[in-house]
Amino acid sequence: MICVYPGSFDPVTNGHLDIINRAVRICDKLIVAVGSNETKKPAFTTAERIELIRQAVGFEPCIEVTSFSGLLVDFLKKTGAKTVIKGLRAMSDFEYEFQMALLNKSLEPDMETLFMMTGVNYSYLSSSAVKEIARNGGKIDGLVPDCIKQRIFEKLKGGK
């Protein structure tokens, strides 16, 4: 089974990585797909976001990291995947994800969305929180992998 894990990943966090590492155990191939929707005004370019995920994941033959634009259902068709993986942190994620899953299903009835609960240590973790802390020079230890900490600070001009 090929699964697609889509998101902004602006930047990737340990919460995303937890989902990636768990998802890869239930599929043959996982495609981590960075949405290049510029209207969201990301802090990191699409290429940077891909690069940070690659660095964080390391060499793992079952995981492909790429980008997509346009509709997720069209990207799925291109890759031959029928299954989307999404993480759920709290009730606040639920409403939006519920709507997206039903919309996608109406566009492409063959597509399934599988939800994974956040890891117990990551329910409070979001990319925007990481950016806010880094911009203000706070510590992001434990929130993102050590190997990408420096690049996040350089980009966001934080301290420490």
The 70-109 contact track toward ligand ADP, x by CB under 6 A, reads: ----------------xxxx---x----------------
Q: Is 66 in the site for ligand ADP (CB under 6 A)?
A: no
Q: Least Å distance between CB 35 and ligand ADP?
A: 7
What sections of the chain are H helices per DSSP? 14-23, 46-57, 72-79, 91-107, 127-135, 146-156
With the C-alpha atoms ordered 102, 103, 109, 114, is the resulting torsion angle positive or negative?
A: negative
The catalytic residues are 16, 40, 89, 127
Residue 101 DSSP label: H
Peptide bond into 42 cis (omega under 30): no
From 20-28, 54-62, 125-133, 150-158, span contacting ligand ADP (CB under 6 A): 125-133
Q: Least Å distance between CB 14 and ligand ADP?
A: 7
